[in-house]
Structure 1
């Protein structure tokens, strides 16, 4: 079984917690499935869940280099130089990243409101970026955009390999074919 979940902001990528925060159990009704990868509680978008350990391994093991695409809202007017730096790979405190596919983007028309909303500052614009990675370090997109001078405000994963969010509403699930 393979399930796509549009993970809402603030949901933990686990099924239980002791502190009352929302978890996958609040959204996923199927039993005996586990997340193939993670999204931080402050990230949104596509999360795949499966009961097939081999499939989970293929989706998450860095040696398989599954591309993961994100839409990212950043603080400030994103420059061409920053996008080019992301394309070349940036140096993080745990070493250089692989080059990323990165390009300027527009806020998508299908974008749902976030609760709580992203902060708004009259004097500082925000920009959108599409970025595709083939590695998966902890909080990598956020660290990469910060490294080029544009902190991440909102992060939405829209694709993992051949699987896409494709209009799935926040908190909704859809069974996928492998």
Structure 2
């Protein structure tokens, strides 16, 4: 079975497809000793190297891929750039190369998934796949009925209007919100529209995976049952990469 070179590299967990394209363009990738073009397709017999190091193909049954749930503390940055102080890769210090699925702002905390499986990254990130993310938010003012209603109905930010979503009060200064979008700093911008400032933001759940039993700064591997449910939920999802 043949696959595009950037997908071949991404599937191994070495980097994202976009980053793989940059490696190819900068001539750091060789296929059978030669510099390939973007869009080159790779077969089982081909040898791929990055900076002279052999990149081995992933197992077809995904048995060699890693799936991790991490409780990100405030101050950790969701980047694979090791030069960035407080990057998530150094924070976890996992033995195998992994990368985060999406991101969680540096001032925010809670659940983020990491993996070496490029296909799952792309499927989960597709907004139209409508995979839920549950957040607990604390703000600087008393939460009112009108605020809850306004957040639920959709808020004009970033030249668009957010999708209607489920919002529930959680104490005098808090609320729970369930999103299927992932706009840049979406919850903070939504709150700012109504004159509220977020003082604490915690992601508690992604799809069916939650933070239960996971202390801040700790990670765990997804269970077989969690993977079974995830794969079932992603069966109809697009693999198109989010730009």
The question of a shared fold, defined as TM-score above 0.5 by the shorter chain, is answered with yes
CA distance in 2, matches of 1:87, 1:52: 34
TM-score, normalised by the number of residues in structure 1:
0.84
Matches of 1:89 and 1:63 in 2, distance apart?
Answer: 16
Give yes or no for contact 1:78–1:150 (8 Å, CA) kept in 2. Answer: no
Find 1:101's aligned residue among 163, 166, 170.
Answer: 166
1:60 is displaced (CA, Å) by 1.2
RMSD over aligned Cα, in angstroms? 1.4
Structure 1 residues 30 and 81, CA, compared in 2 at 3 Å: closer, same or farther? Answer: farther
Q: Which structure: greater strand fraction?
A: 1
| 1:17 to partner: Cα distance | 4.2
* Contact 1:82–1:149, Cα closer than 8 Å, also in 2: no
Select which of 193, 196, 221 maps to 1:175.
221
Structure 1: tracts of 5 or more residues without a match: 107-125
Who is 2:122 aligned against? 57
Q: Which stretches of structure 1, 4 residues or more, deviate above 6 A after TM superposition?
A: none
Please identify the structure whose Cα radius of gyration is greater: 2
1:35 match:
100
Structure 1 residue aligned with 2:141:
76
Query: May I ask how many residue pairs the two structures share in their alignment?
Result: 158
Greater RCO, 1 or 2 (C-alpha within 8 Å, sep 6+)? 1
Match for residue 144 of structure 1 among 182, 190, 213: 190
Structure 2 stretches of 5 or more lacking a match? Answer: 1-65, 228-243
Distance in 2, matches of 1:17 and 1:78, equals: 39
Shift of 1:63: 1.9
**In structure 2, the residue corresponding to 1:138 is in which secondary structure?**
coil
Q: Which is helix-richer, 1 or 2?
A: 2
TM-score for the superposition, normalised by structure 2: 0.62
CA distance in 2, matches of 1:161, 1:9: 22
